[in-house]
Structure 1
Amino acid sequence: MQYRRFGRTELQMPVFSCGGMRYQHAWKDVPESQIPRKNQENLETTIRRSLTVGINHIETARGYGTSEVQLGKVLPKLPREQLIVQTKVSPKPDAKEFRMTLKQSLQNLRLDYIDLLGIHGINTPETLEWAIRPGGCLDEARQLQKQGRIRHIGFSTHGPTHVIVDAINTGQFDYVNLHWYYINQDNWPAIAAATQQDMGVFIISPTDKGGHLYNPPQKLVDLCAPLSPIVFNDLFCLSHPQVHTLSLGAAQPSDFDEHLKVLPLLAEADTVLPPILQRLEQAAIDALGADWLRTWKLGLPSPDQTPGNINIPIILWLRNLLEAFDMQEYAEARYNLLGNGGHWFPGNPADKLDEIDLRAAIAQSPHADKIPAFLAETHQRLQGKAVQRLSSS
């Protein structure tokens, strides 16, 4: 395993982290007696495999159902000094409710302290305010930090880049969990801001949210050769020294194996990546045109500025992935989450275009004449059964 300094925490962080949202028994709290022995044994075997390969950062959240409780039956049996344990708790308008939930997390994990606490889901100006206002959630976390129960405090986010940058620029957080990978590089300004603040940078879900790369379309497989799409994406992310660790949501011990193939390639990234990046870019140009790729984001409104709350940028982005890389399954899953994702994945699908007039909202786009037809076409190609978020937090 290779390790990187996790910003001002000074922790030596493995370049892969063991995320805790896929090996747990349930997404809701259930009595321990209802957790199947087989599931608990798989979780423990997965954690021990993680440590065997040098991945000593174990990351979970109060919103991940039984994950914390199940980890609490494993982690106390392991050498504490060898572990970096992180959980996350969502901010609340009532700081006392946040404190109660945080204390429940610490109780679930059965550890004297955790290394990292993340304020989970600073996705909007409102949730940022809940965290940082006087007497807010961050003040509650600081009290437990003074007691030695928490070492470092950061935040996780699925929010727009400007909200992430605003949170970073408060100077109150030691690290950030955010989305950034090959198919979605919009948050690079946030990574740059975090680097300026000497914060740790943790990439959320590069394999799942980064394209369902465990089940890639053949076109993407061919474009990424000789690497698999998973290895390519890992190498792309880790070739940037500003990135410190990637979350691997392992559901079983073998899920680490493909990712570990990137380790001997890190020193060769400057040689290995360019031809793959060139092929991917050319495939996108061939499918979409160079002008569209350069300008498609210009002048697009956010969902709250759009009639029907339609998330035009996301829908056009999914269309790009569909056209360029045949990412049908991934695009369907993300598209059908629209309307059900709350502030974690905001906005609606384009299912009511005949009821609204988008002309004013998209007037600043150089492609205003094309966008309504693109939205309608994408809806026809991707519409299906509505998808719910896994986590309730």
Structure 2
Amino acid sequence: MMPDLPTRRFGRTELPIPLLSLGGMRFQQSWTDLPASEITSDSQNNLQATLQRATQLGLHHIETARHYGSSERQLGWAFPTTPDPTRILQSKVPPREDPDAFEAELALSFERLGCQRLDLLAIHGINLPEHLEQTLRPGGCMEVVRRWQADGRIGHVGFSTHGPTDVIVASCNSGAFDYMNVHWYYIRQDNSPALDAAQRQDMGVFIISPTDKGGHLHTPSQRLLELCDPVHPIVFNDLFCLRDPRVHTISVGAARPSDLDLHLEAVGLLDHADALIAPVHARLRQAAMETLGEAWLNSWRTGLPTWQDTPGDINLPVLLWLHNLLEAWDLESYARARYRLLGSGGHWFAGSNADALDAGVSIAELDVVLHASPWRQQIPDILRSLKTRLAGEAQMRLSSV
């Protein structure tokens, strides 16, 4: 038996949470909540083997969601055959305008998981101000949660988010939540103010999907592999996240037992994180400077309108960020997936891609909203290049709720 993973105090929950958490997004059979009869033995055996190995290695925190397809059902079947007296179980349920609908989904999560208690419940997807209002208003979803807490069925309540930083900070500042699930990793550090807000509230911080949303690091480009050498990009990104004292745990979105290996390697190297991160960061920065130029890197965000204020809802900040990732580090599969999600991701990934440029949106219209950008002349050609390189069939978010 290997020693358990190191733990950190998960904010005011006081739970000792392992540095690595087993995320339930990738090792279920389907993103549809399949009937029990359609779950295959191969799929269930893989999930069982992944859960068992994670438990043996000390990943005692298991995190899933009501709308992760068959995840809750399959985990509910697996838990009795992989007992863990120290397990910290978390699921997530989206806010609803009707608190009765929210409570019905909460009850279904318990039924699927076969549990009597959730140690952690997250309000899933506080991405817009109205989601926070639905949760916290008198008679809203939080009143349901407090009742279940009083009954001993829920331990601590948090929230998950793909929303803008100001909404995340407002959610933290409300004081209503004990922890948050948030996106923050090497290629995307814009949510740092949210981590600061959580720290001020003594909230636990769980980093969502650092491997997949952190740049498709499970299938890294050759250029990224070379720039991160001698460590794997997954190890580099894990070290970057875990060396930050504001972070308590990161999700391992394993699809199979072997997917745990590189994350375990990162934990083993954590005492040497600064020495390993510094040269890789320097090489990544130098590659960006060589391909994009210092002037661009220092000012590309300047004067960009929000997607709401841009013709065709074109999300210029996201698109230019994807341009940077493509040019500097060849993150093509990641950029393609993100590009195609724009326009179909709803409040989970807001705004649209550049497909409407030169069709429904003219250069003249775009130029009007770019008047404060020092790159107003260059941006249209960048958008055209992205459109040529990345456009294709729209990609739907795996869970649209």
TM-score range, shorter chain: over 0.9
Question: What's the secondary structure of 1:240's corresponding residue?
Answer: coil
Structure 1 counterpart of 2:145: 141
Superposed, 1:244-393 pairs within 5 Å as: 244-354=248-358, 355-356=360-361, 357-393=365-401
Structure 2 counterpart of 1:151: 155
Residue 219 (structure 1) aligned to one of 201, 223, 237: 223
Question: What's the secondary structure of 2:156's corresponding residue?
Answer: strand
CA distance in 2 between partners of 1:137 and 1:263 (Å): 37
Q: CA deviation at 1:214?
A: 1.0
**Aligned partner letter, 2:386:** T
Q: CA deviation at 1:80?
A: 5.2
Query: Residues 328-351 of structure 1: CA distance to partner in whole angstroms, max 9, x if unpaired?
Result: 111111101111101001111111
Query: Residues 222-245 of structure 1: CA distance to partner in whole angstroms, max 9, x if unpaired?
Result: 110100001000011111011111
CA distance in 1 between partners of 2:140 and 2:92 (Å): 16
Asked whether 1:228 is paired with 2:236, we answer: no
Question: What's the secondary structure of 1:359's corresponding residue?
Answer: helix
**Aligned partner letter, 1:296:** W
**Aligned partner letter, 1:84:** I
Structure 2 counterpart of 1:81: 85
CA distance in 1 between partners of 2:204 and 2:6 (Å): 16
Question: What's the secondary structure of 2:367's corresponding residue?
Answer: coil
Structure 1 counterpart of 2:184: 180
Structure 2 counterpart of 1:193: 197
CA distance in 1 between partners of 2:186 and 2:380 (Å): 27
Q: Which moved more, 1:367-376 or 1:215-224?
A: 367-376
Q: CA deviation at 1:81?
A: 3.0
CA distance in 1 between partners of 2:121 and 2:242 (Å): 23
Q: List structure 1 segments (4+ residues) > 2 angstroms apart after TM superposition.
A: 76-81
Query: Residues 138-195 of structure 1: CA distance to partner in whole angstroms, max 9, x if unpaired?
Result: 1111111111100000000001111100111001000010101111110011001101
Q: CA deviation at 1:360?
A: 2.6
**Aligned partner letter, 1:360:** V
Asked if the contact 2:55–2:84 (Cα under 8 Å) also holds between the matched residues in 1, the reply is no
CA distance in 2 between partners of 1:76 and 1:361 (Å): 58
**Aligned partner letter, 1:182:** Y
Q: CA deviation at 1:2?
A: 1.4
Q: Which moved more, 1:153-162 or 1:266-275?
A: 266-275
Q: CA deviation at 1:364?
A: 2.1
Residue 21 (structure 2) aligned to one of 9, 13, 17: 17
Structure 2 counterpart of 1:241: 245
Q: CA deviation at 1:129?
A: 1.1
**Aligned partner letter, 2:369:** A
Structure 2 counterpart of 1:119: 123
**Aligned partner letter, 2:261:** D
Gaps of 5+ in 2: none
Question: What's the secondary structure of 1:214's corresponding residue?
Answer: coil
Asked if the contact 1:306–1:358 (Cα under 8 Å) also holds between the matched residues in 2, the reply is yes
RMSD (Å) for aligned C-alpha atoms: 1.1
Percent identity reads: 55
Query: Residues 236-262 of structure 1: CA distance to partner in whole angstroms, max 9, x if unpaired?
Result: 111101111111111111110111111
Q: CA deviation at 1:369?
A: 2.2
Structure 1 counterpart of 2:132: 128
Gaps of 5+ in 1: none
Q: CA deviation at 1:392?
A: 2.9
**Aligned partner letter, 2:325:** L
Residue 161 (structure 1) aligned to one of 165, 172, 177: 165
Asked if the contact 1:68–1:108 (Cα under 8 Å) also holds between the matched residues in 2, the reply is yes
Asked if the contact 2:60–2:84 (Cα under 8 Å) also holds between the matched residues in 1, the reply is no
Question: What's the secondary structure of 1:64's corresponding residue?
Answer: coil
Question: What's the secondary structure of 2:8's corresponding residue?
Answer: strand
Asked if the contact 2:11–2:202 (Cα under 8 Å) also holds between the matched residues in 1, the reply is yes
Q: CA deviation at 1:359?
A: 2.1
Asked if the contact 2:345–2:400 (Cα under 8 Å) also holds between the matched residues in 1, the reply is no
Query: Residues 186-235 of structure 1: CA distance to partner in whole angstroms, max 9, x if unpaired?
Result: 00110011011100000000000100001111111011010000100001
Question: What's the secondary structure of 2:91's corresponding residue?
Answer: strand
TM-score (norm 2): 0.96
Residue 93 (structure 1) aligned to one of 72, 97, 110: 97
Question: What's the secondary structure of 1:360's corresponding residue?
Answer: helix
**Aligned partner letter, 1:373:** D
CA distance in 2 between partners of 1:97 and 1:298 (Å): 43
Asked if the contact 2:160–2:180 (Cα under 8 Å) also holds between the matched residues in 1, the reply is yes
Structure 2 counterpart of 1:207: 211
CA distance in 2 between partners of 1:167 and 1:81 (Å): 32
Q: CA deviation at 1:264?
A: 2.1
Asked if the contact 1:76–1:111 (Cα under 8 Å) also holds between the matched residues in 2, the reply is no
Structure 2 counterpart of 1:109: 113
Asked if the contact 2:21–2:251 (Cα under 8 Å) also holds between the matched residues in 1, the reply is yes
CA distance in 1 between partners of 2:81 and 2:49 (Å): 13
Q: Which moved more, 1:76-85 or 1:148-157?
A: 76-85
CA distance in 2 between partners of 1:198 and 1:150 (Å): 19
**Aligned partner letter, 2:296:** W
Count of residue pairs brought into register by the alignment: 393
Asked whether 1:36 is paired with 2:40, we answer: yes
Q: CA deviation at 1:358?
A: 1.2
Q: CA deviation at 1:40?
A: 1.0
